[in-house]
Amino acid sequence: MKNTNENTHKKAWYKKWWVWVVIVIIAAAIASSGDSNSDSSVTEPQSTASSESSAASQPAVTEETALAISAKDLLDAYDNNEVNADNQYKDKLLSVTGVISDIGVVLDQTYICINGGGDFEILSVQCYFADETEISEKVAALSKGQTVTITGTCSGQSLNVELKDCIIG
């Protein structure tokens, strides 16, 4: 005799919890990497003389001009009040120190995720690198669990807090 109740108690594939977790992770990855070039549109200057004078009046971007903050403090600021954190940090040069939780490539962009170093931290500061020399020499030498300071421009939070055009050091 066959038990006909065996098949009637199985859940449909879309009702399983792990299916929705995978869908949310994929959607977040697509959303966080989809806007990478939308904020980078730059208007061409009217004349070369005006561009030279504006470049001479602005100091060179270095780690010294960056605002130093720990990954934990930056993540806490965005967790507590995203609007206030955007006012303080978005489009500003930050020098963030934290523990590497992930190193990878998504859509041909190399990234490092850093956080406060806790065991069960889900959110992180995701740092994207554009300079191939930086990637091949410095990023390749790093490993998970290592403490690192990364300087880049904060572009706000999608799933993680994102830094663009990063350098290590």
**Is it true that domain 61-168 has CATH number 2.40.50.140?**
yes
pLDDT for position 119: 78
Other C-beta atoms lying within 10 Å of the C-beta of residue 101: 21
Range in 46-60, 61-75, 104-118 with the lowest mean pLDDT: 46-60
pLDDT for position 108: 85
Domain ranges of the chain: 5-35, 61-168
- 3-state SS assignment for residue 102: strand
pLDDT digits (tens, 9 = 90+) for 117-143: 887 888 999 999 988 888 878 898 999
**What is the distance between the alpha carbons of residues 79 and 85, in angstroms, rounded to a whole number?**
9
Q: Name the token pair of 136.
A: 């091949």
Span 99-120, average pLDDT: 89
Other C-beta atoms lying within 10 Å of the C-beta of residue 95: 19
Range in 11-15, 44-48, 99-103, 113-117 with the lowest mean pLDDT: 44-48
Give one DSSP letter per residue of 41-85, joined into a string.
--PPPS-HHHHHHHHHHSPPP-GGGSEEEEHHHHHHHHHH-HHHH
